[in-house]
Chains A and B, each alone.
Chain A
C-alpha cells in the first residue's frame, strides 16, 4: 500500500524533532542552579503555609516557618524538654502564684528596627487570649490581666495558680508581634492584603508570599541572637515525597523534609547527602472506641496491646526509625521513663481474650486514611498479628478528610491508627486532650470516649501543682492509670525526617519539630 513511502519517514523525524525542540529551546542557556546566589538556602517541603499570624496559625507548615520569625517571652530548648529565656531574660512569681513578672531582654528590635517594649507583649498576648479571631484562647484562659508597669516589665496576673504557664508562653500563639501590626490583624480584610508580611524579633522575616511561589525568609539584621549566617531561605512547595528527594539528589534543593522512612538509609549511602531522623515528641498508636462492645471490655483492650509486636511494626513500617512506645505520652517533660508499657506477650494476650466477653474472638472494623501509607501498613500488620488471638481486623480505607470526620464526629467507629505531636513541652496539653473524657473535654479523650472522672480530677490537680517534683509524680500516676486502662494500642515514638546536601551544616528539627535555621551555615 505505502510501498513507495520510504521518504515519509522524514515526516516522522520532523515531527519528533519539533517535540524535542520545544523542550530543548531553553536548555543550552540554563542549569538547575543558574538563578541561585551563594547565601540562599533552598528547601523543599511537603506543604504550603496557611497563615502567618501567630494566634491564628492552625497548620504545622506555617508554625514551623514562623518559628524562625517570631519569639515568645520564653522558648523551648532544642531538645524540647524544657523552656529557656527568649524575649524575657528573667521572671518571678508572687508567693500566691497569681502574679508573674517578666523582665524583657534589653536592646531587642523587630526586623524593621523598632525596639521591643512591654506594650508589644501586652497587645500580642491580649489578642492571643481574647482577640476576635484567635483560635487558641482556651490555652490562655488562666490569664486574668496583663500589666505593663514600665517598657521593660510585663506582669501577668492569673485567675488561679497555673503550673503550665511558662510552657504556654513558649507556645506559638504567644509569639510577640510588633504592636501596631498585631492590632491591625483584627481589621476586616487584613488577611487578604497583609497577612504574609511578618515582623518579628526572630532571625528572619517575610515581606510577602504568593501561593504557588516559594516562601522567602530574609535575614533580620537586628536579631538579638546575632544575625544568622544564611541571608535568605527559600522554601518551595513540593508535595510529592519522591520528587522532593529527587530534587535534593539533583542538586536543586539543599534541604528537604518528610523524607520517607524507607529512604533514610538509601540516601545516607549516597555521596554528598545526609539524611536524619530527628527525635521529636511524636507518638503513633491505635485509637479504640471504648464505648463500643467488645472494646468496652478492659481484657480485650489489654489483649490487643499485648498481642501487638511493636518491634515488627517499627522494623517493617518505619524501617527501624522509631522506638517502642512504653509510656502513653511522647518522650518529653514528665514522661514516665519507667513505664512498663505492653511488651509483646502472645500467651498473656490469649489468656486475657479467654477471660473476656468475646473468648471466641470478633471482627474489629478499623478505618484508615487512604493517603497515609504508614498507617495502612500498620493496619495490615495488625490484621495479621491480632488474627492470632481470634480478632479479624476489617480494614476500611477512607479518603483522609472523610477518615478524620469519621472518628471526630459522632463516634461511629471502632478503631483507627493515628498519631500525636506535642505543641508544648509541658504534658498538660496531651493529658488534657488525650486523657480527659466527657462532654466538657472537647476531644472525648482523643476521641476514644474514655472517661475516668478520677483521672480527670488528677489532671486538674496537676495543672494547679506548683512544686515540680510533686507535679512529676502526679503525671507519672496519671500515665500509669491511663496505660492500665488502655484506651489506645500503644505502638511507637516517631521522629521527624529530613535530608540535606553536605554543603549544609547546623540544620535542626527541635524536640517540638520546629525547623531551626538560625545555626545553619552554607558552603557553595
Chain B
C-alpha cells in the first residue's frame, strides 16, 4: 500500500474513532454526579432557581436529544454555548488551540534537545558517575508532581534569578516565547525523563549490533558511527514514545497551564470540569482527540523516513 492510500485509510478510521470519542465523552460528562445549574448558583441555589436555570440551559431535554444536538452541531462546526460563560464554545476553544499546541510543540522541542543531550551523554558514559547522576536526577524529576516542580522552577528561575516571568502569557510573539519557557521546560523535563532512559538503553543496545561493529571495522570515524548508524537506529523506539507522549502533553497542560496561568485548552478544561460546563468539556475532548489522531499519524509516517525498510500495509 502506498503512503497516500495508507493516509486515506487512517483518516477514514479516524472518523469512527471520533464518533466513539463523542459517545464516551458525552456519556462520561452527563453521568458524572454534579449539576451545572447547582454549581453555577452555588451557595444561593434553591430548588426553584436550580429548576429555572436548568430549563434555561437546556438541561431538561432528554439525553438522546442533547447528544443529537451535540453531534449534529459538531458536524456543522458548531459546539454550542458555554453554560458558565454564555459564549460560543467554538470561539472559546479554537482561540486556545494554538496556545496549547504552541506550548506542546515548545515542550517537545525542549524535550528533544534535552533528551538528545542527556541521553547520549549517559550512554557514552555508561556506568560512570555522570551516567548515574543523569539517571537518578531524571528519576527524581519523573517522580515529582509537575505542579510542585513548576513552582520550584518559578522560585529559582523567576523569583531568585529573575530570568523569566512567574506566570502569564504575554502579548507579542516574543513575549509568548519568553513567558512559555518555564511551563514548557516543566513539561519537557518530565517528558525527557521517560525518553532519556529509552534513548540511553537503545544507544547502548544498538552499539552492540553487528552492523555497528562492521562500520567500525571498515574504519569509519566514531562520530559518524554514532550519528549515522547508532543514533538513527536507536531513535526509532524513542520517536514512537515521543509521539505517544503527545497525549501526555495534552493531559499535562491541564495542570501546568493552571499553575502558570497560561490561557490554553488545559486551563479551560480545568475550569469547565469543575463547573460541569458540558459543551466546553465535550468540545475540548473532541479537539484534543483530533490533535492526538493527527500526531499519531505523523509519527507513523515518520517511521519510513527514519527506516526506509518500513512499508505501510
A residues sitting closer than 8 Å to B (CB atoms) are 1-2, 4-5, 7-9, 11-16, 18-19, 22-27, 29-30, 32, 35, 44, 47-48, 50-51, 56, 58-60, 133, 135, 138, 191-192, 195, 210-213, 236-240, 242-243, 246-247, 249-250, 252, 371, 398-402, 404-406, 408, 418-421, 423, 433, 441-444
CB-CB under 8 A from A371, the residues of chain B are 274
Q: In the complex, what's the smallest C-beta–C-beta distance from B56 to chain A, in angstroms? A: 7
* Structural contact, B174 and A12, CB atoms closer than 8 A: no
CB-CB under 8 A from B124, the residues of chain A are 2, 5, 8-9
CA distance A254 to B290 in the complex (A): 40
Besides A8-B222, A247-B167, A404-B39, 17 more A-B contacts (Cβ < 8 Å) are A2-B222, A9-B121, A16-B114, A19-B109, A22-B181, A23-B164, A23-B181, A23-B184, A32-B166, A59-B84, A192-B86, A210-B95, A211-B87, A211-B268, A239-B258, A246-B159, A444-B47
CB-CB under 8 A from A240, the residues of chain B are 147, 167, 258-259, 261
CA distance A18 to B111 in the complex (A): 11
Dominant SS among interface residues on chain B = helix
Interface centre among A18, A25, A418 (most CB of B within 10 A): A18
Encode B254-276 as 1/0 by CB contact (under 8 A) with A: 00001111010001101101111
Residue B158 lies at the interface, judged by CB distance under 8 Å to chain A: yes
Cross-chain contact of A11 among B117, B178, B182, B208 (Cβ < 8 A): B117
Within 8 A of A (CB), among B270-303: 270-271, 273-276
Cross-chain contact of A51 among B85, B99, B123, B207 (Cβ < 8 A): B85
CB-CB under 8 A from A247, the residues of chain B are 166-168, 261
Q: In the complex, what's the smallest C-beta–C-beta distance from B3 to chain A, in angstroms? A: 30
Cross-chain contact of B34 among A7, A44, A402, A443 (Cβ < 8 A): A402
* Structural contact, B223 and A7, CB atoms closer than 8 A: yes
CA distance A26 to B155 in the complex (A): 20
Cross-chain contact of A443 among B45, B116, B120, B258 (Cβ < 8 A): B45
* Structural contact, B33 and A2, CB atoms closer than 8 A: no
* Structural contact, A191 and B259, CB atoms closer than 8 A: no
CB-CB under 8 A from A56, the residues of chain B are 86
Nearest residue (CB) in B for A53 is B86
Within 8 A of A (CB), among B184-210: 184-185, 188, 204, 207-208
Q: In the complex, what's the smallest C-beta–C-beta distance from B197 to chain A, in angstroms? A: 17
Encode B49-69 as 1/0 by CB contact (under 8 A) with A: 110110010000000000000
CA distance A141 to B86 in the complex (A): 26
* Structural contact, B44 and A243, CB atoms closer than 8 A: no
Number of B positions contacting A (CB below 8 A) = 86
* 15 cross-chain CB contacts under 8 A: A8-B223, A15-B114, A19-B109, A19-B114, A23-B178, A25-B177, A26-B174, A32-B166, A192-B81, A211-B263, A242-B259, A250-B165, A401-B34, A401-B273, A402-B32
* Structural contact, B259 and A243, CB atoms closer than 8 A: yes
Q: In the complex, what's the smallest C-beta–C-beta distance from A134 to chain B, in angstroms? A: 9
* Structural contact, A211 and B92, CB atoms closer than 8 A: yes
Cross-chain contact of B40 among A35, A58, A246, A400 (Cβ < 8 A): A58
* Structural contact, B95 and A212, CB atoms closer than 8 A: yes
Q: In the complex, what's the smallest C-beta–C-beta distance from B262 to chain A, in angstroms? A: 9
Q: With A50-B40, A401-B33, A404-B38 known to touch, is A243 a contact of B151 (CB < 8 Å)?
A: yes
* Structural contact, B46 and A433, CB atoms closer than 8 A: yes
CB-CB under 8 A from A442, the residues of chain B are 46-49
Q: With A22-B177, A138-B48, A243-B167 known to touch, is A211 a contact of B121 (CB < 8 Å)?
A: no
Residue B139 lies at the interface, judged by CB distance under 8 Å to chain A: no
Q: In the complex, what's the smallest C-beta–C-beta distance from B31 to chain A, in angstroms? A: 11
* Structural contact, B49 and A135, CB atoms closer than 8 A: yes
* Structural contact, A30 and B178, CB atoms closer than 8 A: yes
Q: In the complex, what's the smallest C-beta–C-beta distance from B105 to chain A, in angstroms? A: 11
Nearest residue (CB) in B for A420 is B43
10 tightest A-B contacts by CB? A442-B46, A401-B34, A212-B263, A23-B181, A26-B178, A15-B117, A191-B86, A402-B33, A19-B113, A238-B261
* Structural contact, A26 and B261, CB atoms closer than 8 A: no
CB-CB under 8 A from A398, the residues of chain B are 33
Nearest residue (CB) in B for A8 is B124
* Structural contact, B164 and A239, CB atoms closer than 8 A: no
Residue B175 lies at the interface, judged by CB distance under 8 Å to chain A: yes
* Structural contact, A192 and B87, CB atoms closer than 8 A: yes
Encode B109-145 as 1/0 by CB contact (under 8 A) with A: 1100110111011011110000000000000000000
CA distance A58 to B46 in the complex (A): 13
CB-CB under 8 A from B208, the residues of chain A are 1
Nearest residue (CB) in B for A60 is B42
Nearest residue (CB) in A for B227 is A11
CB-CB under 8 A from B85, the residues of chain A are 48, 50-51, 211
CB-CB under 8 A from B47, the residues of chain A are 442-444
* Structural contact, B268 and A212, CB atoms closer than 8 A: yes
CA distance A71 to B116 in the complex (A): 61
Q: With A48-B271, A442-B46 known to touch, is A242 a contact of B151 (CB < 8 Å)?
A: yes
Residue B247 lies at the interface, judged by CB distance under 8 Å to chain A: no
CA distance A135 to B48 in the complex (A): 10
* Structural contact, A12 and B120, CB atoms closer than 8 A: yes
* Structural contact, A405 and B34, CB atoms closer than 8 A: yes
Nearest residue (CB) in B for A250 is B166
